[in-house]
Amino acid sequence: MNWKKALDGITPYKPGRSIEEVTRMYGLKEVVKLASNENPYGCAPSVKESLASAAIQHEIYPDGYASALRSKLTQKLGVDEEAVLFGNGSDEIIMIITRALLGTDTNTVMATPTFPQYAHNAKIAGAEIREVTLKDNGQHDLEGFLKAIDSETAVIWICNPNNPTGNLIPSDALEAFLGQVPPNILVVLDEAYIEYVMAPGYIDSVTYLEQFPNVILLRTFSKAYGLASYRVGYAIGHPAVISNLNKVRNPFNNNSIGLAIAEKALDDEAFIEQCRKLNHEQRKRFKHYADEKKLHLFDSETNFVLIEVPNDSDDASEKLLQQGFIVRSGNALGTPGYIRVTIGSEEQTSKFLKAFDTLWQSEGSPV
């Protein structure tokens, strides 16, 4: 078969080990998955209740316009109904953007390391990928981005806060950057973790959309809303941008249950607020722990931390796995010497830090 040349060297997405697999492999009683930045508190109890009573007509296609969810979400955001596009997770929106804008005659600019799906999709499209190394503190090098742009640049990807470092770009720096990007380039601000941000001075980027019609925001119900299994993400942007992306979208890309559940989840802002606070408390514990052990930890505004390990990242991940914690090795994320850990509940964090202590004592504790 004549496969696209671009597929050479691309590896399919390899999911991490499941809880069941690790439980079996190591004969453990309890395994905690802290590898995919899911919400340790689940979703709002009101959402779970509504699931039992949701009147879904199984034989009817979903609402391809997501009318009910669209109406509630756009009212909450204070934007036009035509300013939103729904995707099967924000993953699908990344694919839609790529399909609509990237090809062999274009280039695309992104940080490294960052969320790998931008490069993955761009590779398949045959676009040139221009990666701008993060600064030592994990911040995006926005000057470097501006230097990397030329007349063939079609899309810029900014993961804010960034996965895997967790850093948030200060709002003034972001706004100044947006003002310097040529208006014919689409700037994607991927805000998958935005609900977790506590940084003082953070300005909601929805407010930038009027001033910068070439900016699009990606958000998701997978993280703070605790609905990763339903695959609902969305983009907010100028109606003209959304309209072009809509040409590429499959007609029924979200299923009926996902749409109904996401709509219900929007009613429970108190749950999100509570998760944000609980997450912040546990995030502070990681920071304190890292400081105490003199291990580097990037400033995170998300529900995960990238923390230095006293040995090789794969080795550290394996040792934590043996103790019942699934984390992501930095070797797979472009951050060797670190692991990425999803911030769990208070109890999970206490147990995790104990497991990390064992690792630290056996590998790295200075005498």
- Tell the smallest beta-carbon distance from residue 234 to ligand PLP (Å): 9
CA 115 to chain centre: 7
Q: Is 90 near ligand PLP (CB under 6 A)?
A: yes
Closest CA to 244 of 29, 63, 99, 129: 99
Q: Is 38 near ligand PLP (CB under 6 A)?
A: no
Beta bridge partners of 304: 342
Q: Is 253 near ligand PLP (CB under 6 A)?
A: no
Whose Cβ is closer to ligand PLP: residue 31's or residue 235's? Answer: 235
* Contact between 140 and 164 (Cβ < 8 Å): no
**Location of structure tokens 């809509």:** 246
Q: Is 301 near ligand PLP (CB under 6 A)?
A: no
Q: Is 37 near ligand PLP (CB under 6 A)?
A: yes
Handedness of CA 145, 148, 150, 153 (dihedral sign): negative
Closest CA to 111 of 149, 157, 50: 157
With CB under 6 A as the contact rule, the residue among 108, 222, 329, 349 that binds ligand PLP is 222
- Tell the smallest beta-carbon distance from residue 361 to ligand PLP (Å): 32
Integer Cα distance of 96 and 184 in angstroms: 18
Whose Cβ is closer to ligand PLP: residue 177's or residue 230's? Answer: 230
- Tell the smallest beta-carbon distance from residue 165 to ligand PLP (Å): 11
With CB under 6 A as the contact rule, the residue among 31, 47, 168, 192 that binds ligand PLP is 192
**Residue 297 DSSP class:** B
- 293 phi, psi to nearest 5 deg: -90, 0
Whose Cβ is closer to ligand PLP: residue 228's or residue 290's? Answer: 228
- Tell the smallest beta-carbon distance from residue 195 to ligand PLP (Å): 12
Whose Cβ is closer to ligand PLP: residue 226's or residue 233's? Answer: 233
Whose Cβ is closer to ligand PLP: residue 123's or residue 319's? Answer: 123
Number of residues that bind ligand PLP (CB under 6 A): 13
Residue 207, Cβ density class (10 Å: 0-12 exposed, 13-18 middle, ≥19 buried): exposed
Rg (CA), the chain: 21
* Contact between 135 and 141 (Cβ < 8 Å): yes
Q: Per CB under 6 A, which region of 50-58, 84-92, 209-217, 341-349 contacts ligand PLP? A: 84-92
The alpha-helical segments, DSSP class H, found in the chain are 19-26, 45-53, 67-77, 89-101, 117-125, 142-148, 171-180, 239-246, 256-265, 269-293, 313-322, 346-363
Q: Per CB under 6 A, which region of 54-62, 220-228, 270-278, 356-364 contacts ligand PLP? A: 220-228
Residues 98-127 close enough to bind ligand PLP by CB under 6 A? 115
Closest CA to 350 of 289, 271, 272, 296: 289
Q: Is 40 near ligand PLP (CB under 6 A)?
A: no
Whose Cβ is closer to ligand PLP: residue 86's or residue 356's? Answer: 86
Strand pairing report for 338-342 and 328-329: antiparallel
With CB under 6 A as the contact rule, the residue among 228, 248, 257, 266 that binds ligand PLP is 228
With CB under 6 A as the contact rule, the residue among 190, 195, 263, 301 that binds ligand PLP is 190
* Contact between 317 and 336 (Cβ < 8 Å): no
- Tell the smallest beta-carbon distance from residue 358 to ligand PLP (Å): 28
- Tell the smallest beta-carbon distance from residue 159 to ligand PLP (Å): 5
Report which residue's Cβ sits closest to ligand PLP. 89
Q: Is 263 near ligand PLP (CB under 6 A)?
A: no
Strand pairing report for 233-237 and 215-220: antiparallel
Which tokens sit at 196?
């977790």
- Tell the smallest beta-carbon distance from residue 150 to ligand PLP (Å): 26
Contacts (Cβ under 8 Å, ≥6 apart) of 321: 17, 22, 26, 327
Q: Per CB under 6 A, which region of 16-24, 52-60, 83-91, 333-341 contacts ligand PLP? A: 83-91
Whose Cβ is closer to ligand PLP: residue 264's or residue 328's? Answer: 328
- Which residues here bind ligand PLP, judged by CB under 6 A? 37, 89-91, 115, 159, 163, 190, 192, 220, 222, 228, 233
